C-alpha cells in the first residue's frame, strides 16, 4: 500500500468540532469577536527513513480534530511501506511497517487544518487525597518523563503546597502552576527532564511543561503533555509542547513556559498527546523530518452529514 | 438492621467455595486501599513453615492497578500459580491480567469487600480465635493485620463507620465460632460491647504494636514503618501497607517512625528506645518507606566544612552511620519504591525468591574513561569473583554501550556499575533498563549520587531485589574500594547484604584511621565515602550469586587468646592494569587510592602501583573491654583499627609495608589488649 486518503474521517472530525464549537459558544466559554481569527494552513511533513535490514516500525501521529482545531483534508504517502490506521489512548496513529527494510525512503503526510484560538475559564480543582477513578488513571500514573511518584517530585510539591494548604488554598492547578513559575528558573538550554530540573533548579521550556504535567498528576489531576507544531515559526524545527489538564471531564490547554493559562493561540496545532516520542520507531537506522507550512489557496467546503 | 442487610451477602458468599485461609499460590489485589489490601494479608496467612523465623506463611500477595500490568504480569508468569485468588471491585476487567491455573474471584464493592475476603477464606472449621477489626487509619490497620495474620484470624478494616464494621465483625465471629472481636483503634470498649452484646476487646494502636512485638520476642530483626505515608494528598506511596508480609516472613518486630503515629521518631531513636526497654537486640533493621516518610539525615559535606568552604554542599546520609566515623554495627536496609504496587512485588520476590533465573556477575566500569584508578580496583574485584568460581563478564570504557547495557542487564544476578551515573542514563534520569523484566538481581551503583536519581526506583520496579549506591559525591578510588570490600565480605565472610554493607563501611572507616596514621590530610574524603553508601533491599538477603571455595586462598585472621594472626597467602590474583595504574592483590585483600610510583632504570616514572592492603574482622570477647588496643612489631603507620562495642567486632587494616617485602607471603602477628 503506497498511500492512503482519509477524507471521510476528516469530514466527520470537522462536523464534530463544529458541534463542539457551537456548544462552547452557547455556554459563554468562547471569547467574543475581539478574539484572533482562525488560521487555515496547509502543512507537509516529510519523514526521511533509513533502514539497515531490520523490520521497520513507525508510529506517525495524525492530526486530531478537537475543539481547538479541525482537520479539513489529509493524505499520507508511504511509498512502499504498509500502513494501518489505529486509535490509541485518544491519538490517531498511522502504523507504518516494512519487513527487512534497507535503503532510504521518504514518507509524506500532508494535511489542511483550521485552527482557532481557545480560551477557557479554568475552574478550581482541589488537590485529591483519594484513589482516582479507574478511567483517569491513564493520565495520572507516572511515566518515563512524568515521574509523578518520585519522592523528589513529591517532596518539592509537598513543601511548596504545605503553607498554602494550611491557609485553605487547595487549588491543585494553581499550586502546580505557581510552583513551576516560581520554583524553577527558565533557561533555554536548561533541564528537559523533571528530576534533573528539580535537582538543578532550572528548566528548559519542554522541562517546564513536563514539570507542570507531572505536578498535576502528583496532585491527582489528570494531565498530559501535548506534542504539536508551531505554525508561526519560520524554522524547520517547529515541534513544540504544551499541556492539557482534565477538569470536570474537559481537557483544558496550558503552557507553563509561555504563560498560557487555559488558552491556546491558533498558531499551535496538536498532533498527539501523552508521554511519547513524536514518532515511535523501531528497527530504523536513522530518521529525520521537516515541516513545511503554507497558506492554502482554497479550503474545501465542509458539509455537515 | 445492619446485620439484616448483610444477610444476602452472607448467603451469596456461603455458596462460594472457600479455600482454607486462601489456599493459593498467589493473591492479586486490585488497588491499595487499606480496607482491601490488609484483610487480604490476614486471609492469606497460614501456619509458618518449620525451621523458619516467620510468624506466618503467606503466598505472594501482590497489589496492582492500571499501569502496573506489565510488571505484575511478569511476576505472575514467574510464579506460575496453580491457584490464584483475585480480589477486586466489580468494574475491574477480569481479563486485565493473564492468570494460569484456577482463579477464585472475590469481587465486591468497597463496602463489602473486606467481609467478602474474610468469608471466602474462613469457615467455622478453621476455628479462628477472634475476628479483628481496625480503624481506617494505616497505623491501626497495619498492626491489626500483622496480629490477625499471626493468629490466622480474619480482619476487617473500617471503610466508613467503625461501629458498622464492628457489627459486621460480630456477626462474622458468631458464624465462625470465634471467641471475641478485637478492635484496634481509639474507641470505647464498654460502649461497643454494650451495643454488640458480644465479647469485644479494644487495643490502642500502640498496644497492638506492643502485642506484635511480644509475639516475636527474641527476634534480632526490627522493621520500621511510617504509616503516615498512607494518607494525605500528592500521591502518598502507601509503602507502609506492604510491610506486613515482610514483617511476618521475617518474624520481625514492628515499630513506627516518622510523622503521625511514628511520633516524629527517627530510625535510630526508635531502635535505641526499644532496646532500652529490653524489647530486643536488633542486629538487622529494615526501613520501609522512602526518604519523605522516613527522612534521611542531612549534613554538611564533612570535607568541605573542614576545608572552610563557605557554602558547603548538604548531603543526605543513611541511618545508623556516624559522622565521627564510629563503626557501623547494624545490618540496615531500606525498602523504598515508587508506590505500594512496586513494593508488593518486591516483597513477594524477597520473601518467595521469585524471579527469572540469572547467574553470574556483570561489571561495567569506567564508561566515561575518566576513572582509571577506580577501574584498576574494579578489575581486581572481577578477578576476586572469578577466583570464587563465579562467571563474570566485565566491560570497560568504550565497550560499554547503551545496547550492551540493555542486552546484559537482564542476564545477571549481580551487576556492578562503577563510574559516573550519567553513563547509565537515558535522557538524564532513567536507566536504559530494558523494557523486559529484570531478574531478582543486586545492582551496585558505585558512583556519585546514584541513589538520588530515578535509577533505583526503575530497577526495583522492573525486578531487582537490591540496589546499593550513594547520596553524595565519592572519589572513584574510595568507591571502587568500597565495592571491592562489599564483595569480599560476601565471598569470604558469607555476609548478608546488610552485613556486607556494614563491613565495607567499616573498611573505609579503618582506612580513614590508617590515613590519619600515615599523615594524609585528605582522609575526610574517605570518611565521606564511608558515610555515603546505602542499601535498598533486605539486609538479611544472602549473596545473589553462589560462591565456590576460592581457587587461591584468601587473607584470613585468627584470634587465639590475645594473639591476632593475619595470614597473607603467597598467591595473588592476576595483575590488574589500567592506564598508568597496576594492582596486584591477594584474594580477600584490599585496595584504596594509595599507590607508589614505578620508575624505570633511569628513574623516570612509568607507572603507579597500588599499595596492597589487608582488611580483616574478628569478634573479641568481653574481656577486652570496649576500647581494645592493638600492638605489633610493625611501624604504627602500617596498621589501624576500629572497634564496635555493640557487635564486639574489631576491624583491622594493614598496609603492605608491614610485610617483609611487597607481595610476599607472611603471617602478621598482633597483640590485643584492653585499654589502660
pLDDT confidence band for B198 (50 / 70 / 90): confident
Q: Is the pLDDT of residue B262 over 90?
A: yes
Asked if pLDDT for residue B385 goes beyond 70, the answer is yes
The DSSP call for residue B167 is H
Torsion of CA B256, B286, B332, B315, to 10 degrees: -60
pLDDT tens by residue, B137-147: 999 999 999 99
What are the sequence ranges of the domains in chain A? 3-116+277-294, 134-264
* Mean pLDDT of the B345-351 span: 97
Residue B97 has pLDDT above 80, yes or no: yes
What is the reported pLDDT for B453?
Answer: 78
For the domain spanning B299-321+354-536, the CATH number is 3.40.50.1460
DSSP B100-139: -SEEEEEE--HHHHHHHHHHHH--GGG--SEEEEE-SSHH
Considering only alpha carbons, which residue of chain A is nearest residue B456?
A: A150
In the block, residue with C-alpha cell 551487576: B415
The answer to whether the CB of B65 falls within 8 A of the CB of B6 is: no
Residue B17: per-residue pLDDT: 41
Say if strands A268-273 and B533-536 run parallel, antiparallel, or are unpaired.
Answer: unpaired
Which residues share a beta bridge with B473?
Answer: none
Q: For chain B, what's the residue count?
A: 676
What percent of chain B clears pLDDT 70, i.e. is strictly above it? 95
Q: Which three cell numbers stand for residue A32?
A: 467574543
Assigned CATH for A134-264: 3.10.620.30
pLDDT in tens, B478-489: 999 999 999 999
Q: What is the dihedral of CA B484, B452, B255, B321, to 10 degrees?
A: 50
- Cβ pair B427:A145 closer than 8 A: yes
Contact of B150 with B56, CB cutoff 8 Å: yes
Give, as one character, the DSSP assignment of residue B278: T
Query: Is the confidence at residue B388, as pLDDT, over 50?
Result: yes
- Tens-digit pLDDT profile for residues B314-337: 989 999 999 999 999 999 999 999
Region of A164 on the Ramachandran plot (φ > 0 left; ψ -120 to 50 alpha; else beta): alpha
Interacting residues of B389 by C-beta distance below 8 A, sequence separation 6+:
B546, B547, B548, B549, B550, B551
* Residue contact A150–B454, C-beta within 8 A: yes
Would you say the C-alpha torsion A65, A69, A73, A79 has a positive or negative sign? negative
* d(CA B297, nearest CA chain A) in Å: 15
Q: Which residues are paired to B299 by β-bridges?
A: B315
Q: Do B233 and A161 make contact, defined as CB atoms within 8 angstroms?
A: yes
Give the three-class secondary structure for A92: strand
d(CA B32, CA B23): 22
Q: Which residues of B touch A155 (CB under 8 A)?
A: 291-292
Pairing of strands B221-225, B253-256: parallel
Choose between B199 and B201: higher pLDDT.
B201
| Residues pairing with B643 in the sheet | B650
Distance from CA of A255 to the nearest CA of B (A): 21
In the predicted model, is pLDDT for residue B127 greater than 50?
Answer: yes
Alpha carbon of B148: minimum distance to chain A alpha carbons (Å): 26
Q: Is the CA virtual torsion B135, B137, B139, B141 positive or negative?
A: positive
Residue with cell 554493607: B501
Closest-CA residue of chain A to B435: A144
CA distance A259 to A256: 5
Q: What is the pLDDT of residue B437?
A: 86
Do B570 and B562 contact (CB within 8 A), yes or no?
no
Chain B residues whose CB is inside 8 A of the A151 CB are 237, 290-292, 336
Which of the pair, A196 or B588, is modelled with greater confidence? B588
* Angle of the A172-183 helix axis to the A151-166 helix axis, nearest 10: 110
Task: Please state, rounded to an integer, the average pLDDT across all residues of chain B.
Answer: 92
CB contact under 8 A, A193 and B453: no
| Residue B581 confidence (pLDDT) | 97
The pLDDT value given to residue B609:
97
Tell me the chain A residues in contact with residue B453 when contact means C-beta distances shorter than 8 Å: 195
Asked if B389 contacts B547 with a C-beta cutoff of 8 angstroms, the reply is yes
Q: Is there a contact between B426 and A145 (Cβ–Cβ < 8 Å)?
A: no
- Is the Cβ–Cβ distance between B506 and B327 less than 8 Å? yes
Cα–Cα distance for residue pair B27/B121, rounded to 1 Å: 12
All residue ranges of chain A with pLDDT < 70 are: 1-36, 235-237, 298-305
Are B113 and B129 in contact by the 8 Å Cβ rule? The answer is: no
Angle at B288 between CA B65 and CA B441, to 5 degrees: 75
Q: Report the Cα B59 to chain-centroid distance in Å.
A: 20
Other beta carbons less than 10 A from residue A121's beta carbon: 9
Residue in A134, A142, A195 nearest the CB of B453 = A195
Lowest-confidence segment of A13-17, B175-179, B366-370 by average pLDDT: A13-17
Least Cα distance to B631 among B676, B675, B674, B670 occurs for B670
- Residue B413's CB: how many other CB atoms inside 10 A? 22
pLDDT of res. A10: 44
Q: In DSSP terms, which residues pair with A88 in a beta bridge?
A: A91
DSSP state, A127?
A: P
Q: Do B338 and A155 touch (CB under 8 A)?
A: no
**Alpha helices for B322-423 (secondary structure H):** 340-352, 372-387, 402-408
Contacts of B32 in chain A (CB under 8 A): 131
Residue A210 CB coordination number (10 Å): 27
Tell me the mean pLDDT in the region B442-462. 88
Question: In chain B, which residue's Cα lies nearest the Cα of A219?
Answer: B234
Q: What is the pLDDT of residue B329?
A: 97
pLDDT at B84: 98
Q: How far is CA B403 from the centre of its chain?
A: 29
CATH topology of domain A3-116+277-294: Immunoglobulin-like (2.60.40)
B65 and A137: CB-CB below 8 Å? Answer: yes
**Per-residue pLDDT tens digits for B66-84:** 889 999 999 999 999 999 9
The helix or strand, by DSSP H or E, that contains position A251, with its residue range, turns out to be: strand A250-255
Q: How confident is the model at residue B8 (pLDDT cuts 50, 70, 90)?
A: very low
**CA–CA dist B192, B189 (Å, integer):** 5
Would you kindly state where each structural domain of chain B is located, as residue ranges?
A: 2-218, 299-321+354-536, 556-673
**pLDDT-derived band of residue B234, with 50, 70 and 90 as boundaries?**
very high
Identify the CA nearest to A149 among candidates A211, A214, A244: A214
pTM: 0.89
CB contact under 8 A, A158 and B66: no
Mutation test of the interface with chain B: which of A152, A162, A191, A285, choosing the one with the most B Cβ atoms within 10 A? A152
> What is the reported pLDDT for B434?
57
B533-544 pLDDT per residue, tens: 999 999 999 999
Instruction: Please provide residue A226's backbone torsions phi and psi, each rounded to the nearest 5 degrees.
Output: -115, 130
pLDDT of residue A13: 41
Distance between CA atoms of residues A245 and A250, nearest Å: 8
Q: What would the pLDDT profile of B594-617 be if each residue is shown by its tens digit?
A: 999 999 999 999 999 999 999 999
How far, rounded to the nearest angstrom, does the alpha carbon of residue B662 sit from its chain's CA centroid? 39
**Cell numbers standing for residue B386:** 572469578
CB B371 within 8 A of CB B476: yes
Confidence category of residue B347, pLDDT binned at 50, 70, 90: very high
Chain B residues close to A192, C-beta within 8 Å: 427-428
The DSSP symbol for B524 reads H
Q: Which residues, listed in sequence order, are joined to residue A50 by a DSSP beta bridge?
A: A104, A286
Distances (CA, A) of B234 to A219, A223, B40, B49: 5, 14, 26, 40
The CA R_g of chain A, rounded to the nearest whole Å, is 20
Among B429, B430, B435, B457, the strongest candidate for a mutation testing the A interface, having the largest count of A CBs within 10 A, is B429
For residues B130-153, one letter each, b for 16 or more C-beta atoms within 10 angstroms of the residue's C-beta and e for the rest, the string is bbbbbbbbbbbbbbbbbbbbbbbb
Choose from B181-190, B402-411, B523-532 the range with maximum mean pLDDT: B523-532
> pLDDT at position B199, please?
85
What's the pLDDT at B188?
84
Cell of B285: 533493621
Q: How far apart are CA B423 and CA B432, in angstroms?
A: 10
Indicate the DSSP class of residue B57: B
Distance, CA of B480 to CA of B378 (rounded, Å):
6
Burial class (CB in 10 A: 0-12, 13-18, 19+), B197: exposed
pLDDT grade, residue B22 (50/70/90)?
confident
Distances (CA, A) of B294 to B137, B346, B643: 18, 19, 28
> Looking at chain A from residue 52 to 111, which residues have their Cβ under 8 Å from any Cβ of chain B?
none
The answer, yes or no, to whether residue B662 has pLDDT greater than 60, is yes
Amino acid at each position: 500500500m503506497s498511500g492512503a486518503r482519509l477524507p471521510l474521517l476528516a469530514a466527520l472530525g470537522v462536523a464534530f468540532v463544529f458541534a463542539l464549537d457551537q456548544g462552547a459558544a452557547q455556554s459563554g466559554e468562547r471569547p467574543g469577536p475581539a478574539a484572533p481569527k482562525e488560521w487555515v494552513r496547509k502543512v507537509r511533513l516529510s519523514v526521511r527513513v533509513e533502514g539497515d535490514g531490520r523490520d521497520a516500525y513507525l508510529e506517525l501521529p495524525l492530526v486530531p480534530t478537537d475543539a481547538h482545531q479541525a482537520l479539513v483534508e489529509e493524505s499520507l504517502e508511504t511509498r512502499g511501506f504498509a500502513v494501518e490506521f489505529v486509535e490509541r489512548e485518544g491519538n490517531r496513529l498511522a502504523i507504518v511497517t516494512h519487513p527487512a527494510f534497507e535503503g532510504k525512503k521518504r514518507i509524506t503526510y500532508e494535511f489542511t487544518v483550521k485552527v482557532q484560538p481557545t480560551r477557557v475559564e479554568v475552574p478550581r480543582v482541589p488537590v485529591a487525597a483519594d484513589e482516582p477513578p479507574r478511567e483517569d488513571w491513564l493520565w495520572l500514573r507516572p511515566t518515563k518523563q512524568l515521574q509523578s511518584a518520585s519522592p523528589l517530585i513529591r517532596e518539592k510539591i509537598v513543601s511548596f503546597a504545605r503553607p498554602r494548604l494550611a491557609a485553605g488554598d487547595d487549588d491543585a492547578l494553581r499550586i502546580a502552576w505557581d510552583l513551576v513559575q516560581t520554583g524553577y528558573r527558565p533557561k533555554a538550554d536548561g533541564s528537559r527532564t523533571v528530576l534533573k530540573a528539580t535537582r538543578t533548579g532550572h528548566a528548559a521550556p519542554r522541562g517546564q511543561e513536563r514539570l507542570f504535567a507531572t505536578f498535576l498528576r502528583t496532585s491527582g489531576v489528570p494531565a498530559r503533555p501535548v506534542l504539536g507544531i508551531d505554525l508561526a515559526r519560520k524554522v524547520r524545527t517547529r515541534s513544540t509542547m504544551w499541556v492539557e489538564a482534565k477538569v470536570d471531564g474537559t481537557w483544558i490547554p496550558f503552557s507553563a513556559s509561555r504563560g498560557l493559562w487555559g488558552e491556546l493561540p491558533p498558531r499551535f496545532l496538536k498532533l498527539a498527546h501523552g508521554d511519547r516520542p513524536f514518532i515511535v520507531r523501531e528497527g530504523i537506522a536513522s530518521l529525520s523530518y521537516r515541516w513545511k507550512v503554507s497558506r492554502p489557496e482554497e479550503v474545501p467546503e465542509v458539509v455537515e452529514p | 438492621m445492619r446485620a439484616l442487610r448483610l444477610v444476602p451477602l452472607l448467603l451469596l458468599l456461603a455458596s462460594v467455595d472457600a479455600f482454607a485461609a486462601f489456599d493459593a499460590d498467589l493473591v492479586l489485589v486490585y488497588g491499595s486501599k487499606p480496607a482491601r489490601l490488609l484483610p487480604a494479608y490476614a486471609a492469606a496467612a497460614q501456619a509458618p513453615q518449620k525451621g523458619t523465623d516467620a510468624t506466618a506463611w503467606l503466598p505472594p500477595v501482590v497489589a496492582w492497578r492500571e499501569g502496573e500490568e506489565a510488571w505484575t504480569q511478569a511476576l505472575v508468569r514467574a510464579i506460575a500459580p496453580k491457584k490464584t485468588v483475585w480480589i477486586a471491585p466489580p468494574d475491574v476487567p477480569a481479563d486485565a491480567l493473564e492468570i494460569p491455573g484456577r482463579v477464585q474471584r472475590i469481587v465486591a464493592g468497597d463496602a463489602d469487600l473486606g467481609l467478602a475476603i474474610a468469608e471466602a477464606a474462613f469457615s467455622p472449621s478453621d476455628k479462628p480465635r477472634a475476628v479483628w477489626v481496625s480503624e481506617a487509619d494505616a497505623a491501626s490497620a497495619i498492626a491489626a493485620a500483622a496480629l490477625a495474620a499471626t493468629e490466622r484470624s480474619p480482619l476487617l478494616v473500617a471503610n466508613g463507620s467503625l461501629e458498622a464494621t464492628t457489627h459486621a465483625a460480630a456477626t462474622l465471629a458468631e458464624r465462625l465460632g470465634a471467641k471475641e472481636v478485637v478492635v484496634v483503634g481509639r474507641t470505647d470498649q464498654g460502649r461497643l460491647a454494650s451495643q454488640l452484646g458480644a465479647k469485644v476487646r479494644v487495643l490502642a494502636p500502640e498496644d497492638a504494636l506492643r502485642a506484635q512485638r511480644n509475639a516475636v520476642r527474641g527476634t534480632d530483626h526490627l522493621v520500621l514503618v511510617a504509616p503516615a505515608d498512607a494518607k494525605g494528598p500528592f500521591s502518598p506511596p502507601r509503602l507502609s501497607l506492604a510491610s506486613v508480609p515482610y514483617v511476618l516472613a521475617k518474624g520481625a518486630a514492628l515499630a513506627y517512625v516518622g510523622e503521625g503515629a511514628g511520633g516524629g521518631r527517627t530510625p535510630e531513636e526508635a531502635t535505641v528506645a526499644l532496646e532500652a526497654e529490653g524489647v530486643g537486640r536488633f542486629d538487622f533493621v529494615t526501613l520501609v518507606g522512602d526518604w519523605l516518610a522516613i527522612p534521611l539525615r542531612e549534613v554538611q559535606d564533612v570535607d568541605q566544612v573542614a576545608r572552610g568552604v563557605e557554602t558547603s554542599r548538604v548531603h543526605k546520609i543513611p541511618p545508623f552511620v556516624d559522622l565521627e566515623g564510629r563503626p557501623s554495627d547494624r545490618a540496615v536496609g531500606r525498602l523504598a519504591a515508587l508506590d505500594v504496587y512496586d513494593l508488593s512485588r518486591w516483597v513477594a520476590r524477597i520473601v518467595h525468591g521469585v524471579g527469572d533465573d540469572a547467574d553470574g556477575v556483570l561489571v561495567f566500569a569506567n564508561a566515561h574513561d575518566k576513572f582509571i584508578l577506580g577501574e584498576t580496583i574494579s578489575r581486581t574485584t572481577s578477578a576476586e569473583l572469578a577466583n570464587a568460581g563465579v562467571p563474570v563478564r566485565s566491560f570497560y570504557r568504550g565497550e560499554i554501550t547503551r545496547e550492551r547495557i540493555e542486552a546484559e542487564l537482564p542476564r545477571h544476578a549481580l551487576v556492578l556499575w562503577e563510574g559516573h551515573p550519567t553513563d547509565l542514563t537515558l535522557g538524564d534520569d532513567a536507566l536504559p533498563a530494558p523494557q523486559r523484566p529484570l531478574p531478582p538481581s543486586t545492582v551496585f551503583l558505585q558512583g556519585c549520587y546514584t541513589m538520588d536519581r530515578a535509577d533505583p526506583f526503575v530497577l526495583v520496579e522492573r525486578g531487582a531485589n537490591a540496589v546499593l549506591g550513594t547520596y553524595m559525591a565519592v572519589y572513584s578510588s574510595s568507591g571502587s574500594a568500597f565495592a571491592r570490600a562489599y564483595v569480599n565480605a560476601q565471598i569470604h565472610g558469607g555476609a548478608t547484604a546488610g552485613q556486607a554493607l556494614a563491613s565495607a563501611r567499616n573498611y573505609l572507616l579503618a582506612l580513614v584511621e590508617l590515613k590519619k596514621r600515615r599523615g594524609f590530610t585528605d582522609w575526610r574524603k574517605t570518611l565521606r565515602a564511608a558515610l555515603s553508601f546505602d542499601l535498598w533491599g533486605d539486609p538479611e538477603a544472602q549473596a545473589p550469586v553462589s560462591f565456590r571455595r576460592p581457587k587461591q586462598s584468601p587473607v584470613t585472621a585468627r584470634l587465639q587468646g590475645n594473639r591476632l594472626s593475619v595470614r597473607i597467602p603467597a598467591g595473588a590474583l592476576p595483575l590488574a592494569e589500567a592506564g598508568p595504574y597496576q594492582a596486584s592483590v591477594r584474594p580477600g585483600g584490599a585496595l584504596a587510592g594509595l599507590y607508589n610510583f614505578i620508575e624505570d632504570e633511569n628513574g623516570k616514572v612509568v607507572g603507579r602501583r597500588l599499595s596492597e592492603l589487608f582488611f580483616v574482622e574478628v569478634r573479641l570477647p568481653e574481656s577486652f573491654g570496649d576500647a581494645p588496643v592493638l600492638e605489633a612489631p610493625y611501624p604504627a603507620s602500617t596498621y589501624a583499627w576500629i572497634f564496635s562495642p555493640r557487635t564486639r567486632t574489631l576491624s583491622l587494616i594493614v598496609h603492605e609495608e608491614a610485610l617483609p617485602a611487597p607481595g610476599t607471603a607472611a603471617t602478621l602477628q598482633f597483640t590485643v589488649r584492653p585499654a589502660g
